[in-house]
A and B are shown apart, each in its own frame.
Chain A
């Protein structure tokens, strides 16, 4: 009863009792109490439902009471602030639409200055979002001044946040304000703290995109050059990415003079982090600068990166080999690859670092489509074969997983002699994850090698995995069988794998007996009604008498699973009695699953 709640809360309770939708129902104080709850979790829940509170208050009071409260008094755990920053990005309708969206700026401004990066980033994200909802006038009157305040804040956090906001307001303000924005951005690019320079460098490309071309040439280039020779490598490496964006904006004739000197320097930077970044962005860079510069500058630069003294850089470059070659200008592609790239690739095949080799292995097969049959056989095939014998399983796996590219060009037979030992070795690898990976490629391999080769060489491996001591492998092996049957057909299944699978039903190890059931589950549908009824079902029935309860309840589960494949007569006359018997089993799990099967198959 309401009266007993106590004097402090009575007004709320009694008002709630007569709840119809009146704004004054919920005094802001009660709601704010929720936002201030001592328990962080409850506070967090309340903040996450801030829109509910705002709806209850209505747009007017949300603007005049809730937002000022949020702006002034919230000093909270970062987790709560994060939720708040996110909420406010979707608050436009709750404060009365775009007309009033600027009311959201004060709380977001304070959130954009907090220390915790995640909160700040979220606040900036929300600010960017609502910037689009500002009218051009509001953008100049409310939004841009906020950006300026942030840009000239005392502590680095606000200046860092400002960097992300220039590009969203620049396109829609007057030219005077534009000039101011450019000036602020320039200042931040030479900020005293590396954190701010990093933020500016990471937004440089984005900012360049919204600038007029004349300012890109006059302003952005000098900023880019300065950031790319910063004393801190963490700043320089961010400038690389900006360089790529800037290059896409400039006309071809300006590239050489304005960005190439800086990019060349970055490719030879003394810090491996910067060189790594260049390698990582190489394909984008290639697209941005076009074929001529690629031929003259990027090819030698790429060769150097492939030969870099740090493995990290070599691996990043190796990852780009295929893409780089693909995007080379067609007229000189083959010559460049054969004379400049391939020699480096050959060396990487025997690199000392396994990450480099495995990065290369993941793309090298793609070269065969580019180079064509003869070159592939003469130059690439020896490399594939060497990698198939590599000591590191990941390298071999990466080669095997990309066999389809080679298959299209020269056919897989060329490789099959070397392939087999590699597959066998991976299939028996001590690490189960490696075994799992090779199983997953089996259907692909089977498709490419053909049924004869498969039966002769690989079938026994596939069966051996069924009795692996790791469950995940046995499970993957059953799934693999199903995919093989999809490829080779039911008749093949009946002749080769079904007898072996059913044979395991007599295995002394109950785990293997269960594997028979799992295989039946997987195979019944692809094998069809006849095989299922004739060959599999009798085995399942026989196993319903197994002494291990786990086997028995899996029989029930299997029957449920394969039921849809069987005809209704068989279900009624054969399956039903078995399930009924299991439903009166001593073991409660067996009973449970038997009953479940009966009801799913509607045999009750």
Chain B
């Protein structure tokens, strides 16, 4: 049985600050987009409000703590019903009294669930879940800014947060209450409920996503029957994100939950889980917004490897397949992830991937972008990686030697050149014989390459000539055929006329 481990501690009640961390390296001298776009922000609507036809006037109920025990549950239920009334938060002065009554009631409910025992009895479950559903489930509003860039722009915050936060808090306390009984809850927290909960992860408001993360994690932990369904729906969200929309705000949060889920996977890994790795997690690397969730994604990937080393080859080959072609910032992230992977790789697995891997590393070293080259060369500072390289020097050195030799002579950046000298020196010490051989044959190899290239050009030139000829003969053939047909037709008609004449 799989057991989710604890999420890293982060108190959802204090809004997280981990949301916007603009990377410090991106100093480019151009004003940030968010600054250029310093237009007035309208706080966001949520479509939920429109469904309430007539506004109900709220009247304050007696306090829960003053209620006699016999009436407590009844009052609790009434408060839950009272909290089903929604308010217009776009109009910040509308119905202030009602808003305050609901806020106070929610606060009481939160406190009651969190502190007193024996409150959560069976009849309250449907009422509680109903109150939660009515408040949190809504179609998220269209993004204020169609080209919203989570790294650059301020997120649109949910206007009804003063109530919404308390509803989430209540839900969380409800799930965490010692009185909480999964067997009762599963009747109300069902697949449909979970699906709607997952859709909310697209919220632009980081505070909301933080709550959702903790809540979904608790649901996954307590309602075992929903686990497979939750995983499947997360898959669908990711696949839609990768292949259809490229937009979903909660990828990082969902990955964080998955990180802890993967940790609890039973061994040997089910094929469903392997498929998830190969067909969902690895392709997630192609996303344009990778930087927002790369840390969580790399964590998941490494978790898989630590669970089962045999997936290593899939992972590395997958990353090599999706290696960024034009985005150097992403390339640096990929290199970072490769180092994380190499840190825990088993030597037997390393041998299986070393060839394609070091071809890619060589390509990175020759990148004109110095951060890419630098990141790749840093691998030689990692002792474990160095030991792997040393063991397989016979294979690796020939793969990278040509690049190192060439780049050491022509890279524009001094730091890169000195890093390369260090790497060359290391190799020389590892295997001086091989090193000398390669140095000696470098020129010959270069010549061979040039010659091969020339042959290629020649081959294609000839192929194209041949194509020309073929096409010509084809058109000629069809022309001949046409002529033939025409001639046949004319002779036919001639013979017909002559036949007609004879008759």
A positions within 8 Å CB-CB of B? 5-6, 9, 12-13, 16, 19, 21, 25-26, 30, 34, 38, 42, 49, 51-53, 55-56, 77, 115-117, 155-156, 193-195, 198, 231, 233-234, 270-273, 309-312, 352
Contact = CB atoms under 8 A, between A and B. Distances in A.
A116 B286 CA distance: 10
Contacts of B459: 12, 16, 30, 34
Contacts of A231: 192, 195
B141 to A, nearest CB: 7
Given A5-B451, A231-B195, A195 B466 contact: no
Contacts, number: 85
A29 to B, nearest CB: 12
A77 B451 CA distance: 27
Contact of A116 (B243, B460, B467): B243
A318 to B, nearest CB: 15
9 contacts: A5-B451, A52-B464, A156-B239, A233-B139, A234-B240, A272-B141, A272-B142, A273-B139, A352-B42
Contacts of B142: 272, 310-312
Contact of A55 (B279, B359, B456, B466): B466
Q: Which of A52, A53, A117, A312 has the most CB of B within 10 A?
A: A52
A115 B243 contact: yes
Interface stretch (B44-52, B124-132, B299-307, B383-391): B44-52
Contacts of A312: 142
B28 interface: no
B109 to A, nearest CB: 26
Given A117-B243, A194-B236, A19 B465 contact: yes
Interface in B448-485: 448, 451, 455-456, 458-460, 462-467, 469-471, 473
Nearest to A198: B244
Contacts of B446: none
A6 B449 CA distance: 12
B273 interface: no
Given A231-B192, A310-B142, A56 B467 contact: yes
- Smallest CB-CB A-B distances: 8 pairs: A271-B139, A312-B142, A117-B243, A309-B50, A52-B467, A55-B470, A55-B467, A52-B463
B283 interface: yes
Contacts of B42: 352
Contacts of B50: 309
Contacts of A198: 244
B6 interface: no
A195 B244 contact: yes
B97 interface: no
B352 interface: no
A319 to B, nearest CB: 15
B425 interface: no
Given A55-B471, A194-B240, A310-B47, 4 more contacts: A38-B359, A117-B244, A195-B243, A312-B142
Interface string B237-281: 001100110000000000000000000000000000000000100
Contacts of A271: 47, 139
B406 interface: no
Interface in B425-460: 448, 451, 455-456, 458-460
Nearest to A25: B466
B321 interface: yes
A310 B45 contact: yes
A601 B121 CA distance: 98
A309 B90 CA distance: 12
A56 B460 CA distance: 11
A9 B455 contact: yes
A25 B463 CA distance: 10
Contacts of B455: 5, 9, 13
Contact of A309 (B45, B463, B469): B45
A193 B236 contact: yes
B279 to A, nearest CB: 7
A34 B456 CA distance: 8
A198 B240 CA distance: 11
A35 B309 CA distance: 33
Contact of B47 (A55, A77, A115, A309): A309
Contacts of A115: 243, 279, 283
Contacts of A116: 243
A56 B463 contact: yes
B474 to A, nearest CB: 9
A270 B47 contact: yes
Given A194-B240, A310-B47, A312-B142, A53 B283 contact: no
Contacts of A156: 239
A19 B462 contact: yes
A132 B464 CA distance: 30
Given A12-B459, A13-B455, A115-B243, A310 B141 contact: yes
B496 to A, nearest CB: 31
A391 to B, nearest CB: 12
A382 to B, nearest CB: 27
Given A5-B455, A9-B455, A231-B195, A270 B51 contact: yes
A504 to B, nearest CB: 34
Given A195-B240, A231-B195, A309-B47, A19 B466 contact: yes
Nearest to B243: A117
Nearest to A192: B232
A116 B322 CA distance: 11
Contacts of B451: 5-6
A309 B462 CA distance: 66
A16 B460 CA distance: 11
Given A194-B240, A195-B239, A53 B279 contact: no
A117 B240 CA distance: 11
Contacts of B465: 19
Contacts of B47: 270-272, 309-310
Contacts of B244: 117, 195, 198
B463 A26 contact: yes
Contacts of B466: 19, 21, 25, 55-56
A55 B472 CA distance: 12
Given A55-B471, A195-B244, A77 B321 contact: yes
B379 to A, nearest CB: 22
A298 B491 CA distance: 67
Contacts of B467: 51-52, 55-56
Contacts of B51: 270
Contacts of A42: 456
Interface in B193-225: 195
Nearest to A115: B283
A201 to B, nearest CB: 13
B449 to A, nearest CB: 11
Contacts of A56: 463, 466-467, 470
A117 B245 CA distance: 11
A49 B464 CA distance: 9
Contacts of B448: 6
A589 to B, nearest CB: 30
A512 B484 CA distance: 72
A197 to B, nearest CB: 11
A306 to B, nearest CB: 15
A53 to B, nearest CB: 7
A8 B443 CA distance: 20
A30 B452 CA distance: 13
Given A12-B459, A21-B469, A116-B243, A195 B49 contact: no
Contacts of A53: 463
Interface string B316-337: 0000010000000000000000
A309 B451 CA distance: 69
Nearest to B50: A309
Nearest to B142: A312
Nearest to A155: B279
Nearest to B191: A231
A51 B470 CA distance: 12
Nearest to A116: B243
Nearest to B48: A270
Nearest to B470: A55
